[in-house]
Amino acid sequence: MSALRAAVVIFGKELRTEFRTRELLNTTVVFVLMILILFSFTMDPTAEESRRFTSGLLWLAILFAGALMLFPSFTREQANDTLDALRMAPVPAFAIVLGKVLANFAFLTLAEWLMLPVFSVLYDVSLVRVLWQMLLVFALGTLGLAVTGTAFSAVAAHARMREMLLPLMLLPLLTPVLIASVEATAALLAREPQFDLTWVKILLGFDVVFLAATYLVADALVEE
Amino acid sequence: MSATPVPPAAPSFSTPAVLRDARPLGIEFREVGKRFGAFWALRRVSLRIAAGEFVLLRGPNGSGKSTLLKIAATLARPSTGSVVYPGAEDQDAAIIKARIGLVAHGTLLYDDLSAAENLRFFGGLYGLADLASRVEAALVSVALSDRRDSLVRTFSRGMRQRLSLARAMLHGPGLLLLDEPATGLDQQAREWLDRTLESLHDAGCTVVMSTHASEAASAATRTLWLSSGRIVRDTAAPASAEGVAQ
């Protein structure tokens, strides 16, 4: 079976499981919204301040929520040794990781779509004019987060102190994604919105490099 | 006046139809050792199990039975030596994996999926044709068709174990590895397991099973006794538990 087809089967299983329990989605959405609401209460930024500073806040919230959401990707496969069942299936190891990357990307994207209207209202920032560009930037940034986070959650699943280990490994590595996403978002939120292709290309490059790296080390990621 | 309680109907088990197209697969361990840190779970085990044999693994806890099964299932790599699969057209990992079924200590099932969803998911990963009918046949064979849409988390230990067996047999494996499969099964289910394994063996499937109990092993043709990571006895025909002391 091809890696893509197997990944789609695993992606379907992840969606079915998550939409049945909503454990990760509920936690992530509530976490992100709480950060946005608390920050707006404590800082009460003007529209101009929002345009300048909130892209950083937005992406930090997504980053922390992502670390929270991505952690159980592989640890919950340990409950009934289901990872063993996946590893015994005649599918490439990359398919297992890819299926989970796709699912995490979908969950994070959904959380962001729920978050953006709230952000727009709380921080008095209109997203209508730049919606498609914003969604593209978010998609690329989120893909980088999902690929890297899923790969590292596989590593952390075998480690002691794994709850601490994932953020410690993940956050420094995601600095390029964070910087590029924040800059691209800030340019879109400016008084004169700009779709800065330089940052978009950096995001795209990061995604391609880390997806390729994950493909190369997939066997090591899922083995015992 | 209260009505007399009616006991629930006993489930009826059948031999899975999905097993009839299994092609037997043998396995050979060549000087296999497995080390966890400083501890050797297996020490230079050399062993040939021919296609179609029914082998019991016996031995005390920590003797290396589960490690041997994990290596046979491609879930663990030997630290030393190698494993080959005589009877496989190719030693490619995907081809070998497609012909192995495993019932392990864990159920290898998703608690938040129903019985049918679990089987459909794993059948999808194996790229099985006629998946719907295979799933239905597998559920009928383990007497779980009436609970096909119930979440696994609502199942008793015995029902989980039966579903675990159905999952392991869904793709018609030529080599079935079972790690104490009778755990959690009641007498009726144990008898079904015994019959199923017997019919598997009759169909030519290779069966390797670790067990403490002797009930579900009447069809076994060979018994291997393990101790401290070594095979210390290799006897023909099933042997009873007193052999451990010998």
Between strands B54-58 and B175-179, the pairing is: unpaired
- Token couple for B214: 């002797």
Residues in contact with A224: Cβ distance below 8 Å, sequence separation at least 6, in sequence order? B75, B76, B77
Query: What does the pLDDT read at residue A111?
Result: 92
Nearest to A190 by CA among A115, A112, A121, A130: A130
- pLDDT category at A162 given cuts 50, 70, 90 is confident
Strand segments (E) across B85-216: 100-103, 175-179, 206-210
Residue A39, domain extent: 3-222
Bridge partners of residue B207, in order along the sequence: B54, B176
Chain A residue with minimum CA distance to B170: A89
A79 touches chain B (CB under 8 A): yes
Query: What does the pLDDT read at residue B218?
Result: 76
Using the 8-state DSSP alphabet, how is residue B170 labeled? T
Task: Read off the pLDDT of each residue in A34-43 and give the average, rounded to a whole number.
Answer: 87
SS3 state at B227: strand
- Residues of B in Cβ contact (< 8 Å) with A160: none
What string of DSSP letters covers A129-158? TTHHHHHHHHHHHHHHHHHHHHHHHHHHHT
Query: What does the pLDDT read at residue B22?
Result: 66
Task: Read off the pLDDT of each residue in A68-74 and give the average, rounded to a whole number.
Answer: 87
Query: What does the pLDDT read at residue B16?
Result: 53
Residues in contact with B179: Cβ distance below 8 Å, sequence separation at least 6, in sequence order? B65, B66, B69, B102, B103, B104, B105, B209, B210
Q: Read off φ and ψ for residue A99, nearest 5 degrees.
A: -60, -40
Which of A72-76, A212-216, B82-86: highest mean pLDDT?
A: A212-216
pTM of the complete model beyond 0.90: no
- pLDDT tens-digit profile of A8-17? 999 999 999 9
More confident residue, A186 or B199: A186
Examine the pLDDT at A206 and tell me if it is beyond 90. yes
Burial class (CB in 10 A: 0-12, 13-18, 19+), A150: buried
- pLDDT tens-digit profile of A168-182? 888 888 999 999 999
Query: What does the pLDDT read at residue B246?
Result: 39
Instruction: Please give the ipTM for the structure prediction.
Output: 0.89
Reading phi first (left if > 0) and then psi (alpha if -120 to 50, else beta), residue B143 is in left
Nearest to B220 by CA among B88, B7, B58: B58
Q: How many domains does chain A have?
A: 1
More confident residue, A110 or A161: A110
Other C-beta atoms lying within 10 Å of the C-beta of residue B216: 25
What does each of the 246 residues of chain B score in pLDDT, given as a tens digit? 444 554 444 555 555 555 555 688 999 999 999 999 889 999 999 999 999 999 999 998 889 999 999 999 999 999 999 999 987 667 788 889 999 999 998 999 999 999 999 999 999 999 998 999 999 999 998 889 999 999 999 998 889 988 999 999 999 899 999 998 887 778 887 888 888 888 888 888 899 999 875 555 678 889 999 999 999 999 887 655 444 443
Tell me if B143 sits within 8 A of B191, measured CB to CB.
no
Cβ of B94 and A79 within 8 Å? Answer: no
Nearest-angstrom CA–CA distance, A134 and A148: 21
Cβ of B106 and A82 within 8 Å? Answer: yes
Query: What does the pLDDT read at residue A170?
Result: 85
Residues 44-73 of A with CB under 8 A from B: none
A84 touches chain B (CB under 8 A): yes
Chain B residue with minimum CA distance to A18: B112
Chain A residue with minimum CA distance to B171: A89
Nearest-angstrom CA–CA distance, B118 and A159: 28
A to B CB pairs, distance under 8 Å? 77
Using the 8-state DSSP alphabet, how is residue B151 labeled? B
Strand segments (E) across B37-79: 39-49, 54-58
Rounded to whole angstroms, the maximal C-alpha distance in chain A is 56
A20 touches chain B (CB under 8 A): yes
Tell me if A74 sits within 8 A of A153, measured CB to CB.
yes
What percentage of residues in chain A have a pLDDT greater than 70? Answer: 99
Nearest-angstrom CA–CA distance, B85 and B65: 19
SS3 state at A209: helix
- Residues of A in Cβ contact (< 8 Å) with B102: 84-85, 88
Burial class (CB in 10 A: 0-12, 13-18, 19+), A172: exposed
Query: What does the pLDDT read at residue B19?
Result: 52
Q: Give the DSSP H or E segment for B234.
A: strand B230-236
Task: Read off the pLDDT of each residue in A41-68 and give the average, rounded to a whole number.
Answer: 85
